[in-house]
Amino acid sequence: MKNLIKESVSSLEGYTPGEQPGSKNVIKLNTNENPYPPVPALSDGLSNFDISELRKYPNPVSSKLRNEIADYYNLEVDNVFIGNGSDEILALCTRAFVEDNGSVGYFEPSYSLYPVLTAIRDVEQRPVSLNENFTWVMPENFEASLFYLANPNAPTGMCFDKNQIIEFCGSFPGVVLIDEAYADFASYNCIDLLSKFDNVVICRTFSKSFSLAGIRLGYMLGNEKLISAMIAIKDSYNVNALTQELGYLAFKNIDYMKANVEKIKATRAVLSQELSQLGFEVCKSETNFVWTKSLKVPAKKLYEQLKAKGIFVRYFNDDLIKDYLRITVGTPEEIQRFLEELRVLLKT
């Protein structure tokens, strides 16, 4: 069978998602899902959806949603691409902007899907290691066809210096994809860079701030020629009709999302402060999770002890970040329960 599979795929170590426990009697703080439900208007949208429309193919470019997003950002519709989750967008970029002899750059640590997508595309990987404090210095004369720049970064939750991002985008010869999956939780975003640089695209998702990880929906903003290239290579009908409608309703009611974001940010502040008081090193979070290191107990041990208590946080078995835990900001009640159990564990 090995001879039937592409060599680069046979040797591929795929992306490892966070655990999805079967029981509902757990506190799930490991996959950065929004703890609050999506806007109630979606229930009405589903109830009123004419199911006879499902016999037809969906709009191939998600026109209604695309126009809504373009209007919100004061862009033309040709500057917007809709994807089956932001992961599809990230994958399509490796096909649209990278030649077979090209390369893809990204930071380490960052979103662990980036090297997987590069390996699937079977092109050169050009990782750039972050400093110990998770800032970066780009190697001299660095080049690549495409660079994934997550801002805020994951799993650290930190934003990079914006002036440094601007300088990098202005000098980089390839396409810079700024992955803003968590931008709604951050103190700034890079939307304004679209008017400054033709080689910059910005990718966003409905999974985090909109509470819609289950429908797999994302969008990309950028120069119309880059967007056109994405449309040319996407699947014929890459986003289904129900997802398009739910995404449209969610974006139409964007104030509901923003209110949830403010609640999460308030809980994030409490979690960060409490962890600091418990002797944890806490990175400044600009996301819906906290990246933290215990100065007393190994991260893996804490992860396993919390899991035994029915509390799931994210531990990465990677030498670069094995001392850290990533903790999703849940509801105030979930975080209080987490902190109570953590205090007990730290005393044992």
Residues 48 and 182 in one domain: yes
pLDDT at 20: 78
CA distance 50 to 47: 8
Residues 328 and 180 in one domain: no
For 265, other C-beta atoms within 10 Å of its C-beta total 18
For 307, other C-beta atoms within 10 Å of its C-beta total 16
Residues spanned by the domain of 248 = 41-253
pLDDT at 248: 98
pLDDT by residue (tens digit) across 34-57? 999 999 999 999 999 999 999 999
Residues 63 and 184 in one domain: yes
pLDDT by residue (tens digit) across 104-120? 999 999 999 999 999 99
Last residue of a domain, one of 209, 230, 253: 253
pLDDT at 7: 80
Residues 223 and 242 in one domain: yes
pLDDT at 9: 82
CA distance 285 to 303: 20
Q: What CATH number has the domain bearing residue 262?
A: 3.90.1150.10
Residues 33 and 135 in one domain: no
pTM recorded for the entire structure: 0.95
pLDDT at 1: 65
Last residue of a domain, one of 253, 280, 295: 253
Residues 61 and 16 in one domain: no
Count: domains in the chain: 2
Low-confidence ranges of the chain (pLDDT < 70): 1-2, 348
Tokens 């139409």 map to which residue?
Answer: 252
Tell me the residue type at 314.
R
pLDDT at 254: 98
